[in-house]
Chains A and B, each alone.
Chain A
Amino acid sequence: MNSISDTSAVRARRVAKRLRRRHWAERRFRLYGLTAVLLSVGFMVFLFANIIGKGYRAFEQTYIRVDINYAEELIDPNGTRLAQDLADGNYQGVIKASMRAQFPDVVERSEQRKLYGLLSESAERALKDHVVGNPGLIGHSDSVWLLADDHIDLLVKGEISTEAAEEDRRVDDQEIKWMAALTAGHRVERHFNWSFFTEGDSREPEQAGILGAVKGSLFALLITIGLSFPIGVAAALYLEEFARRDHFTDVIEVNINNLAAVPSIVFGILGLSVFIQFFGLPRSSPLVGGLVLTLMTLPTIIISSRAALKAVPPSIRQAAFGIGASRVQMVLHHVLPLALPGMLTGAIIGMARALGETAPLLMIGMVSFVADVPTNLSSAATALPVQVYLWSSSAEQAFVERTSAAIMVLLAFLLTMNLLAVILRNRFERRW
């Protein structure tokens, strides 16, 4: 031992130095933890902000006010005013004439075609419905708000930069000039995009809506909840309340735990070869989608139902036995009602997961373009998350905001379901 360095002052200094270092390390460690938490929350905020920022504009849609002259020779040349004759009218001609009247100096054919392209192709249908509803308009004039085409919509929303070179953007200078003229005449407005919620899918972004996808998801989820909740609860009841612990129940348990971690796409393969190939159920249908999601959520529901049953104290069971109940009566009259809120919470969370699931639905063909809103369980359909996938792989720029808007709707559904689960848990779950 060196007598000089061993003096207590030196040692104290050394200890203090090391202590400082250790405390510094402590603070650093703590900071790492805080950074990790903030990073993950930051990711989420960024994600949400990004999607909302991209998607909020999709809830509005550009309309152009056009002075329509309801010329009888185009709409109802025979003058019958019958609904079926009115439905055959040349509304495109009416719209074209009105647009030409709006811009009389556009005379060249290709320019005129571009002029008509300001409006969506669905404008014709909207006008037809308008006239069939009010036949008295024929022969008169009226100004009507008609849906603009998606690239005009993007222009109005400022998503197409007008500074870029003309050949690099989807709207050329002439169209910008026309739109400026229309805007100056108070003929351009953005209205709430109701059709987004009331229409099925479409190849034209300005006409595409999510109703078909929402209904497809709804149908599939109805099947899923209708099958997986009763079956899951039954399985949990058997395993918790009836079965002896033996090899057989061990095998079941291992199976359930493993199934809960099997990738969802594998369930899709299962659905493809069992439900579609073997049983011949209709491809792309919410029926098969619901069945696949049932198989996928079943393990989760069994596990959460078992947890809910485990939480019911044994004294309840003993009391029921004590007054002469059979095991089935004990379970059905006493344990199950007490465990039901917990089971429902688990089921709702399982449903929320099923609603967001995409991969297995791709496998069973719920990914084809379906313009019609599905009417029953076996008609071809997509689901909300699949619609997100389909739109996101589309090349049209206008689909980006629609994809984000569909995501917002999907997240709103999920949030509501999770909130419901939390409320249910806080409201009904008893602590013993």
Chain B
Amino acid sequence: MLTSTLLLILIGCSVAMYFVGRSRSIALVGGRSGISKLNSLPGHYGLWVAAWCLLPALAIVLAWNALGHRLIVSAVVSQASSVTAPMSPGQRSLLLSDIQNVEDGTVPLALASPSVKAAAFELRRLEQLSHSAVAVLALCVMLLAGGLTWHRLSPTVRARHAVEKVFRVGLAACSTLAIFITIGIVASVLFEALRFFHLVPVTDFLFGTQWSPQMAIRADQVGSSGAFGAVPLFLGTLVISVVAMGVSIPIGLFAAIYLAEYANRRVRAIAKPLLELLAGIPTVVYGFFAALTVGPLLVNFGRVIGVAVAPESGLAAGLVMGVMIIPFVSSLADDMITAVPKALRDGSLALGATRSETIRKVVLRAALPGIAGGVLLAVSRAIGETMIVVMAAGLTGTMTANPFRSVTTVTVQIVQLLVGDSEFDSPKTLAAFALGLVLFAATLALNFIALVIVRKYREQYQ
């Protein structure tokens, strides 16, 4: 039986049980007129019965769907591999993919070896068996639980209480998902990164100055060892982020100051949504713009003034990234500037300061911690930004702080190493996880500091 049909049956049955429970609760107190004798509303009784009917059975089906396949596969593979000599993990996964290819028909049966064929048949048999077993089990549990609650239903049962408890637990579970996502992120990058650090020492990774992750297939090829010193990537990321911040901080800050302190309402009403529009443009569009328009423009400009600019220079990516971050900086700075109490401004103006003097010497000083927090958040966005640099920055790590040359970044390398590769065994792919770990840790630290600063600042004026 298909899982979807099983789910449909379960849901259909519990909907039916809702009406059964409701009408039974009414019948127990002798019709509609006796409803006041019920502890809860009839609908609550219906929901109560339906919940007992659905939830345990649903839990079984979902648990099996998440884990069952893996259990069966590992059982079959260990059975198949126990026939032959002991196997390395690599051989095991090879055998597994052989078996699966035969099972789903990618490889015709005639080509498979007898042991693989047997294992494939076994796999299919177990899959089918488990499918029907789970279906039967779920339906039994549903009938049992539904029947029991139906039997226990009486006017004194506190059905609303029970239903609301289930509801609350469900809501709480949804909110803990955030924690699980974080755990999932940490686990998914950490384990593979640790495997990487077994192959390449941490110090080589963090302090090495040579980055050439392509592992040669033949031993005598040039650069066959593969070098995983990530310093060029960090440097490239830094160069591009510095360029981006050099664009976005002054422009964003001055735009925020102008809109918050000088502009009249009409200008603000037009300019603010326009700036937000800039923030809504997908990064892939910026990337396209950087690679096809800004890059060549800078090359030509460099030729005119006699500076050699690489077509994939850090400058092009950084400039466009800066434009992307402008609205981010300006909206945060705007928040911080408007949070400065009016009394401070009035005091300064009353002393005879001009508006710009007030802004520079009073408002900005008061808003500085908040703005600094916002800038940190913007930096964390800049180092985590992917598409612009993938499309407009270079692919090879160069040890240079020169923005006119081609540099690569952490995110570019993650994309380069992971896209199209599904084998997680070579240091090349594992390196991407190590880079992911660095990226995650760096952005997390920046965000954390920034959030603390911003929160402290907000409290100061509230």
- List residues of chain A with CB under 8 Å of any chain B CB: 22-23, 25-26, 28-30, 32-37, 39-41, 43-44, 47, 50-51, 54, 230-232, 234-239, 242-243, 251-252, 254-259, 261-267, 269-270, 272-274, 276-277, 279-280, 283, 295, 298-299, 302, 326-328, 352-353, 355-359, 362-363, 365, 367-368, 385-386, 388-389, 392-393, 400, 403-404, 407, 410-411, 414, 418
Q: How far is the CA of A224 from the CA of B387 in the complex (A)?
A: 21
Asked if residues B192 and A263 are in contact (CB atoms below 8 Å), the reply is no
Within B123-168, the residues touching A (CB, 8 Å) are 160, 164, 167-168
Q: How far is the CA of A279 from the CA of B359 in the complex (A)?
A: 55
Contacts of B277 in A (CB 8 A): 44, 418
Most buried by B among A266, A389, A414: A266
Q: How far is the CA of A32 from the CA of B251 in the complex (A)?
A: 9
For B172, the closest partner residue in chain A by CB is A238
Q: How far is the CA of A328 from the CA of B171 in the complex (A)?
A: 11
Given A35-B254, A273-B192, the answer on whether A400 and B292 have CB atoms closer than 8 Å is yes
How near does chain A come to B248, taking the closest CB pair, in angstroms? 9
Contacts of B230 in A (CB 8 A): none
Asked if residues A388 and B447 are in contact (CB atoms below 8 Å), the reply is no
Q: How far is the CA of A108 from the CA of B355 in the complex (A)?
A: 81
Contacts of B385 in A (CB 8 A): 263
Of B31-39, B213-221, B417-425, the stretch lying at the interface with chain A is B417-425
Q: Is there a chain A Cβ closer than 8 Å to B380's Cβ? A: yes
For A40, the closest partner residue in chain B by CB is B326
The answer, among A22, A30, A44, A242, for a CB contact under 8 Å with B168, is: A242
A-B contacts, 13 of them at CB < 8 A, read A25-B356, A34-B258, A235-B178, A242-B171, A258-B444, A258-B447, A265-B436, A269-B188, A283-B422, A353-B280, A355-B282, A400-B292, A407-B288
Contacts of B164 in A (CB 8 A): 326-328
Q: How far is the CA of A237 from the CA of B261 in the complex (A)?
A: 37
Given A26-B356, A30-B258, A269-B188, the answer on whether A47 and B182 have CB atoms closer than 8 Å is no
Contacts of A263 in B (CB 8 A): 380-381, 383-386, 411, 439-440, 443
Q: Is there a chain A Cβ closer than 8 Å to B64's Cβ? A: no
Q: How far is the CA of A427 from the CA of B66 in the complex (A)?
A: 43
Asked if residues A231 and B160 are in contact (CB atoms below 8 Å), the reply is no
Q: How far is the CA of A30 from the CA of B292 in the complex (A)?
A: 34
Given A40-B326, A40-B327, A265-B411, the answer on whether A255 and B178 have CB atoms closer than 8 Å is yes
Q: How far is the CA of A136 from the CA of B254 in the complex (A)?
A: 72
Q: Is there a chain A Cβ closer than 8 Å to B291's Cβ? A: yes
Asked if residues B424 and A277 are in contact (CB atoms below 8 Å), the reply is yes
Q: Is there a chain A Cβ closer than 8 Å to B110's Cβ? A: no
Given A238-B174, A352-B280, A407-B288, the answer on whether A270 and B411 have CB atoms closer than 8 Å is no
Given A266-B189, A392-B287, the answer on whether A259 and B356 have CB atoms closer than 8 Å is no
For A391, the closest partner residue in chain B by CB is B288
Nearest 8 A-B pairs (CB), nearest first?
Answer: A263-B384, A33-B258, A356-B282, A36-B254, A29-B356, A238-B171, A359-B386, A234-B174
The answer, among B259, B285, B440, for a CB contact under 8 Å with A266, is: B440
Asked if residues B419 and A273 are in contact (CB atoms below 8 Å), the reply is no
Given A33-B258, A388-B285, A392-B287, the answer on whether A43 and B185 have CB atoms closer than 8 Å is no
Q: Is there a chain A Cβ closer than 8 Å to B115's Cβ? A: no
The answer, among B250, B271, B289, B354, for a CB contact under 8 Å with A51, is: B289
Please classify the interface of chain A as helix (H, G, I), strand (E, B), loop, or mixed, using the class held by over half of its residues: helix
How near does chain A come to B161, taking the closest CB pair, in angstroms? 9
Contacts of A34 in B (CB 8 A): 258, 262
Asked if residues A265 and B415 are in contact (CB atoms below 8 Å), the reply is yes
Number of interface residues of B (CB under 8 A): 91
Q: How far is the CA of A184 from the CA of B291 in the complex (A)?
A: 39
How near does chain B come to A270, taking the closest CB pair, in angstroms? 5
For A299, the closest partner residue in chain B by CB is B178
For A352, the closest partner residue in chain B by CB is B280
Given A37-B259, A328-B168, A363-B419, the answer on whether A261 and B284 have CB atoms closer than 8 Å is no
For A400, the closest partner residue in chain B by CB is B292
Asked if residues B171 and A269 are in contact (CB atoms below 8 Å), the reply is no
Q: How far is the CA of A280 from the CA of B67 in the complex (A)?
A: 10
Q: How far is the CA of A94 from the CA of B460 in the complex (A)?
A: 81
Asked if residues B443 and A328 are in contact (CB atoms below 8 Å), the reply is no
Given A231-B174, A269-B418, the answer on whether A407 and B285 have CB atoms closer than 8 Å is yes
**Other contacts beyond A25-B354, A263-B385: 13, CB < 8 A:** A26-B356, A33-B262, A39-B251, A40-B330, A51-B285, A255-B182, A256-B178, A265-B386, A267-B185, A274-B184, A298-B178, A389-B284, A389-B287
The answer, among B177, B184, B254, for a CB contact under 8 Å with A33, is: B254
Q: Is there a chain A Cβ closer than 8 Å to B207's Cβ? A: no
Q: Is there a chain A Cβ closer than 8 Å to B179's Cβ? A: yes
The answer, among B185, B192, B263, B274, for a CB contact under 8 Å with A41, is: B274
The answer, among A22, A239, A261, A266, for a CB contact under 8 Å with B354, is: A22
For A327, the closest partner residue in chain B by CB is B164
Asked if residues A251 and B284 are in contact (CB atoms below 8 Å), the reply is no
Q: Is there a chain A Cβ closer than 8 Å to B181's Cβ? A: yes
Contacts of B419 in A (CB 8 A): 362-363, 365, 367
How near does chain A come to B53, taking the closest CB pair, in angstroms? 20
Contacts of B283 in A (CB 8 A): 356, 358-359
Within B427-450, the residues touching A (CB, 8 Å) are 432-433, 436, 439-440, 443-444, 447-448
How near does chain A come to B372, taking the closest CB pair, in angstroms? 16
